[in-house]
Structure 1
């Protein structure tokens, strides 16, 4: 639906009081005394309940706004934002919906949800509920402000849950468990398929499947994952190798007691019956005979490789979430690190082969380029017209995956805080940009999609090497300050390598 963006003459203020009439000569300056003072409206912003339209900016007292029960994310510390607002004010309007139609659509579902029911009372007590911008609203309160500008978006009430969830997934990095719970809510409440969730979240179906698998973990293991004591890949291996919660908890306890222990070593110790003291009384252990001391743990999978263990939470920081690889087949049956093998051993350790190293190099290079693209969009004014035209031509003359490119471009624009319009999902955002009649925003958004299309193409690991178009794209990034850091990408560009 096109967004009717406000004009300067259309913006309304709730704080404006009517000017009292000037008394005529010969009359009592105090004017006639009314027997009953006029009844004030329940809310200072009540005038907008009848008169505001979608896309209008309304200025609303902060105490007349309630946070959305659909927003499950912790808003976190807003002290820095509040300090900035004390001097600069609120630079970007939030988006709100009227509480009455919002509750008419969602009230029954929210009250039936144990995790959200307690938040409904606040919405019932306020005329407005937040669609986007809860952190800005909280920061404004902390800064001591009295009111805030807000876009009215009643037209998005039916899609509020999906929009808020998508916004949270794109705007900030949720913990793996928060992400998994949102995907599960999409499945159970919205009957959404993996493909539907992928379109909303901008993630791959494989990534979504693995995140949902994390919900098979025990509460203790989920807490360790959320707090950063356990990495997602390690958690997936634990869930696959030890289906019951008691053993999963035992692994986490072993890891907490011995910082040098890897997650695979902890899994094998639990499988051998070497449990932490707090887990010795677990009933199921009595029915699980332990192997003889020193006996190797045999995998049920004939294809399980003899890979050395890796430290817990050892995922590379630069690994891009959109290219999340499937968990290894050996996750269901972890094995101990093999004894030292002679140099002629035919099974190289993971990471030792050129193929494995270059696969990781490609992931790291993609993450670095993505950061460069985000920075480029933030300082977009430095891009020349010729460079923009070249990027647009590349997008138009190749088979661009538009949905994926829009998702990536929107994520970059939001991360760089240059998106200007609080509209999600990505497809709706770019439609709103087109309707905005703001040439500079349209130009930046179109460039972002073209840039994202080029990045998705360059990051596609199904293609063994860069072609001429990929090289032009990366060279363009280099001209804007990007520095290739991996040997694989340096080789593609004909640059000197480290010789590893």
Structure 2
């Protein structure tokens, strides 16, 4: 009970002070006025009794939820209203703000401060009349009623960022500049601008933010994006709660998928223009699918003339040409996929031996520069590096890749941060090597690094040697 009584006294104390000071503030104005007669002097704030059934809430009050009012109502029923609510006459309020005529309807008074207590009295007491401070002057200007709402609510812990932003936007709509809002509500420029920015969120994300499931920092990332990206990225995050996917990674994933869809549509149009079907090479030819791929113009034209030309799509949605005719396989052809997997496993062991050693700042910077320019998302690389680091006993004992990376990100251990960052950069190179159909200088450089830095030195497999030009790798055996 004591806490609720304190709430009555303290909830609106900033507003009561504001009302008490209003006469002094008005003295500095060019000429006192009312809505009915701009030249008439304003009456001082006065204490009155109002019929609770004739009081309407402020239509611009951004608070959607007032919380549980039953205990507050019980306290008011027992000891009465310790601090009066602050009201303006409906006549004065509507003269300044006629756009709210429908919402005010037949009410005689409009609450400027004390919405929770008004609701508690109406819903949980048998009181018919309550004390109020009449302050028409707060309704007679463009924004003073909104400033009063701000004073009433901004100190509340349960006043959500969305509600704050809605209130600040209403002030902008009334003609205040953002710097004026900052001065009037005593908040920083960044505080106000961030609350305004999150109003760009789609309704679903506004609800998630208000529920506490979305951090304000993450909400600001979503607010920068278009509605489709916001919804798609949140869907990825919501489905990967256990994996700890963040908004940046989700947006990158959505962007990749959107680009792939666009490339797929372009590829389908290109195949239709060429008059050929799009086929699934692996579904038709299994592990021999790669041998049906056509890379030179002469072979493509020959297949076209022979009626065996078809199109296929790679993992990125890019189109390539294949022949549907049977392809003779060398008797001693290697099982490419099995050999690739065997080589990847061997390289993983070599990578693990590298990530366990300390690295210099210069090396970390060089590796991270290469990784930052890699055309892949960091999610797969983080998971790969996490496996190596955990096997090597490096870093915190956390059984979730995303949480492990997040813990290292906030760590003050600079050496650990450099080591994990360098391991991620190494994992980027390994991912690029695993995904490459044809090896280029980057893949060759990755294997060369393993032969030099792994402990013991790494020896490329026969399959890897076949993927590289002769003489590009030197080992101790040569």
Q: TM-score when scaled to structure 2?
A: 0.46
TM-score (norm 1): 0.44
Greater RCO (CA < 8 Å, at least 6 residues apart):
1
The structure number with the bigger radius of gyration is: 2
